[in-house]
Structures are given as C-alpha cells and as structure tokens.
Amino acid sequence: MPSGSTSVSVDIATSTLVALFVECIIYGMFILLFALAMSVLLGKRKRRTSGTRPLVGVSITMFILATIHVGIDLRRAMDEFLFDIDISPVASVNYLLKSTAYAMQTIVGDGFMIYRVYLVWNGDKRIVFPLIVCLMGGIAVGAGALHSFAATKGDNAENPLFLTALHNWIVSFFSMTLFTNATCTLLIAGRIYMIERATRQTTKVFGNRLGPAIMIIVESGSIYSVALVLLLALYVNNSYAQYIVLDAEVQIVGVVFTMIIVRVGMGLSSDMTTYAASQSQFRGHGTGKSGASGGRSVPATLELTARGPGVHVETSREVKSDVEQDGEGVYATKAGSMWAGDSEV
C-alpha cells in the first residue's frame, strides 16, 4: 500500500476512534436531557398544551436520528479495528446512512428554529419566508451532497471526502445551516429584547425580567453556531479532525434543543414576571348609585411567561366600567396573547 494511503488510513482510524469517544459522551448527555425534556413536556397535565405537541415530536425524532448515527459510527469503528475494512469510501452504505442521519438531524433542527421564529414574530411572513427559502435550499444542497457521495469512487490516494467534486456541496450545506441557525437565534433574542424594552418604558418592573430567557436562547444557539464554524474551518483546511466535530454535532443539535426545554421547563416556566403600572384613565362621567365619578387610576398588568423553547407574552388590563351595581364597580378584562399555539388541551 502506498505510503500516502497508509497515512490517510491511520488518520481516519484515529479520528474515527476519537470521534466515537466524544460522540458517546455527548450522546449520554442527550439521553439524560431527553428524559428530562419528556418529563417536562408530559409530566404534568397543566403543562400539556397544543404548543408542546410539536416539541414532543421533534424531540423524539432527534433522539431517533442521534441513536441511528451513533450506532452506525460504532459499526464503522468495528469495521476499521476488528475486521480491517477500509471505511474511507464515502459511497459505502454505512457512510451514506451516517451522512443521511446527519443531514436530517440538521434540517429538523433548522426547521424547528424557523418554527420558533414564526411563533415569536406572530407569523410575520416577511421574517419567516426568507428563512424557509434558505431551509429549502439547504435540503436541496443536502440531497445533492448525498447524491455526489453515492456517485464518488473510492480508489483515490486521498480521502474522497476532500475531493473537489464534493467540496462545494459540503461547504455550501455547512454554510447555509450556519446562516439559518445564527439568523434564527438573533431574531428570537431580538424579539424578546424588543418586548422587554417596550414594557420597561411604560411599566414599573417587579421581579425577574426577560434577561434569563434571552440568555437561554443566545447561549444555546451559540453552542451550535460555534460547532458549525469549527466544523467548516476544519473541513476547508482538509483536517481529519473534522470527523470529530461532525459526529459530535449530531448529538449537539439534540442536546441544544432539549437543553432549552429543560431549562425553561424547570426554571422560567415556573416563574412569572409581572409588570404593573398605574395609569390615569378617564372614562366617561357616568355615575352609579354610589355617585362615583368615572375618572380613576386603573392598574394594568403585563404578564410574561416562558413556555417551551420560546416566550409567551400575555397582556391583561382591568378597565373601570361606566356601569355600577349596588355601589360596586363592574370590571371588564381585556387580554391578548402575543404568541399563538398555547391553548390548553
């Protein structure tokens, strides 16, 4: 065997072993977080809303894909170290299955990020449509990359993964995924910040604000984004260490997603931030039996609660009615939700 081929084989073997070790550690974390997420989503009846249904479906899908991926990597490690089978060809069945699991995990994660943007931005098509186009482009590029893998011959001295025919497909997929994730993270965090700033201007704050929710979104999105940047940099530099990040990233996607659910479900969702203010409201001048006038200072509240991986914002206001009965005021309550999809089931 040529020396160049031996060098590549050793590098691939080493990176495969380290990648499997790292992936198994993160997969163990994913198992724990997945169990906790299911407990948060399904454990208490009062938390079961129509908004949790997609969370359950996405969580289960991600866990299945992560399990398939780690299982294939274990098989590839056995082929390399026990059966002396060359695992470098990207057209092999195991590598195609492994790559398909990675692509699907990434697309599911990106798709749900867009779904969160849709909820937080109240379905604003101007915000969501470009992201959907980017997701569709990512799906097309991913399919093209898998097709190129299947058509690639593995008889080159260099690793086929770094061939020019595959390079553009892979770089494009990584780049589009990074753009989608980073954009969604900024849009969600920015929307929450805008809500917080708007309420600060008109209300006096009591208790916690939305800072913790913003930190959860930004921190979790940053973890995935940093992994993508590192993966892209390693691949562009033809480093075999990219296998380590690539395999770990499938688990990172699931860990990041379930971590948001667990942190919100066990922390912010049990707390409610209430903004209260006194505003002078002068309603008509109708007088009831008690002879009370209509102009009064009326309390207004803005309740902000975190549900699932986003933030539910509900406003309520009590307004003194012009109608009074037996000397006692009759009050009307107006409430509106700024995030749909949370009706009780």
237-265 pLDDT tens trace: 888 888 899 999 999 999 988 988 887 66
Rounded CA gap, 253 and 32, in Å?
14
As given in the structure block, the two tokens for residue 119 are 């909820």
As given in the structure block, the two tokens for residue 254 are 């699931």
Q: What is the pLDDT of residue 302?
A: 35
Rounded CA gap, 344 and 197, in Å?
29
**Phi and psi torsions of 204, nearest 5°:** -100, 130
Mean pLDDT along residues 36-55: 75
- In the chain, how long is the greatest CA-to-CA distance? 103
Between 91 and 78, the higher pLDDT residue? 78
* 293, pLDDT greater than 50: no
Handedness of CA 237, 238, 240, 244 (dihedral sign): positive
Residues 6+ apart with CB under 8 A from 72: 94, 97, 98, 101
* Backbone conformation region of residue 95, classed left if phi is above 0, alpha if psi is from -120 to 50, else beta: alpha
Mean pLDDT along residues 128-154: 91
Report the candidate in 5, 250, 207 with the shortest Cα–Cα distance to residue 103. Answer: 250
As given in the structure block, the two tokens for residue 105 are 């995990």
Question: What number of other Cβ atoms are within 10 A of residue 137's Cβ?
Answer: 15
Report the candidate in 58, 54, 118, 44 with the shortest Cα–Cα distance to residue 269. Answer: 44
Whether residue 22 contacts residue 245, with contact meaning beta carbons closer than 8 Å, is answered with no
Strands 204-206 and 295-307: unpaired
Mean pLDDT along residues 160-174: 83
Mean pLDDT along residues 18-46: 89
What's the pLDDT tens digit per position in 62-74? 999 999 999 999 9
For the chain, domains (ranges, CATH) are 3-269 (1.20.1070), 273-337 (no CATH)
As given in the structure block, the two tokens for residue 130 are 């470009």
Between 173 and 261, the higher pLDDT residue? 173
Q: What percent of the chain has pLDDT over 70?
A: 62
The one-letter amino acid code at 57 reads: G
What's the pLDDT tens digit per position in 203-243? 444 445 556 666 666 656 778 888 999 999 999 888 888 88
The DSSP string of 91-121 is: TSHHHHHHHHHHHHHHHHHHHHHHHHHHHHT
Q: What is the pLDDT of residue 241?
A: 87
Q: How far, in whole angstroms, is CA 6 from its chain's centroid? A: 41
Q: How far, in whole angstroms, is CA 306 from its chain's centroid? A: 15
Q: What is the pLDDT of residue 192?
A: 79
Whether residue 258 contacts residue 36, with contact meaning beta carbons closer than 8 Å, is answered with yes
Grouping H, G, I as helix, E, B as strand and the rest as coil, residue 179 is helix
Rounded CA gap, 9 and 31, in Å?
32
The one-letter amino acid code at 92 reads: S
Q: What is the pLDDT of residue 4?
A: 38
Mean pLDDT along residues 10-38: 90
